[in-house]
Amino acid sequence: MSRLRRMRLMSRAILRLGILGLALGSALALAACGWAGNVERPAVTVAGGDAELGRSAFATYGCISCHTIPGVDRADAHVGPPLTEWAKRGYIAGRLPNEPDNLIRWLRYPQEVDPGNAMPDLDVTESDARNMATYLYELD
């Protein structure tokens, strides 16, 4: 086999490996972002939370002024993101992995988590944040 032929075969092999590496890297990046196609995530539970109390807390704190929240009266605003299908999200505010402790922290201290974001600190209590998180994770 000529040297030129060997070089062409090597170039093709390297190109194929590069394409394979790119595809694998893309798949890993999507998985890291929480995308899992149609795979169901396991149910999330929040210790000590009460979903019914959480549902009413969204109105008490005025969350309905900015968010659409399924099952909460008059919560159909479009200022902030809709709080639908919460358990399927990979991240909270694009910063924190979607886990109960992180959601409770976000509900209580959004300006500490992401200074200058549009969500104000509303002095949400630990108990209310836990109840609100329970409600969001129970949404379909």
Q: For the chain, give every domain's residue range.
A: 1-32, 51-138
Per CATH, the number for 51-138 is: 2.60.40.420
pTM of this structure = 0.71
Nearest to 57 by CA among 86, 84, 109, 49: 49
User: pLDDT of 13-43, one tens digit each?
Assistant: 676 666 655 555 555 555 555 544 444 666 7
Give, for 103, the enclosing helix (H) or strand (E): helix 100-108
Instruction: Tell which wins on pLDDT, 118 or 6.
Output: 118
Place of tokens 């590496």: 21
CA 27/CA 98 separation, integer angstroms: 20
